Structure 1
Amino acid sequence: MMSTSEDRAVRPGTPPDTAPRPEHTEESVGVLVSRASQQLSQLVREEMQLAQAEMVRKGKQFGIGGGLFGGAGVVAFLALEALVVTVIAALALVLPVWASALIVTGALLVLAGILALTGKKEIGRASPPTPQEAIAGVKADVAEVREKAHR
């Protein structure tokens, strides 16, 4: 018949059991390091994917802003052409033709201004050209790893 620790506590003179009894199964350091390495690799891959997605989004915003600036340049060029036509019309006829040409020129310049401001706003929204969200995520991950390492 095998004795248990309760039996020994009841029976005086029985030597205590000196063999360590595992309370729960513990994984070896090698397994833990391997798992941490795999998790770190997965985390780095996911952060790189986040950075790539963020850079694609910002690239699109830069493209839209640049296109709007380009559009503003084209419209401003058309406004200059219209201004030339206005001057010619002003010299050729006294009022009706050049007045209408001047109104068109003014409208084109207003449109160019709106396009330029909208383009500037889009480029401002895409700045700075770094993946800020991914960087913040990596910093948070590093802080969490450090916190857990010090426990």
Structure 2
Amino acid sequence: MTTQPVKDTDTEPTIGQLVADASRDVSALLKKEIELAKSELKVSVRYGGAGIVFFLTAAFVAVLALVLLSWAFVYLIHWNGSGLDLHWAFLIVTGAYLLIAGLFVLLGVRKVKRVRAPERSIRQAKEIPAALKGKA
């Protein structure tokens, strides 16, 4: 029969041992958190990629529908020969699309003019070197 050595319960770990243990535990915890984040990101990227493919497919189908709708408007304006001639019908539909595109350009320019630099973040980033030197 083997007996295990009895540990001396009077000796406590040193501060160095405690710091080393804490450092090791924090390091292991951080590694596990990073692994968890990576696995969650892989799932999110997979679903996000599939979602993007579905959105692109929907956009393509919508463009095809817009083309067909354009032809329908042209033939509606033409009305089997009793309306305007086909060349005028095509010009009217094209002009309507150009007006709509111009409206979206105008709205886009207005939104882009509102874009500003992240001033607060830049200001805080400039304060970091002084804070690290203890001059904050």
- TM-score class, shorter: 0.3 to 0.5
- TM-score, length of structure 1 as denominator length: 0.39
Q: Which has the larger radius of gyration?
A: 1
When the two structures are superposed, what TM-score results if normalisation uses the length of structure 2?
Answer: 0.43
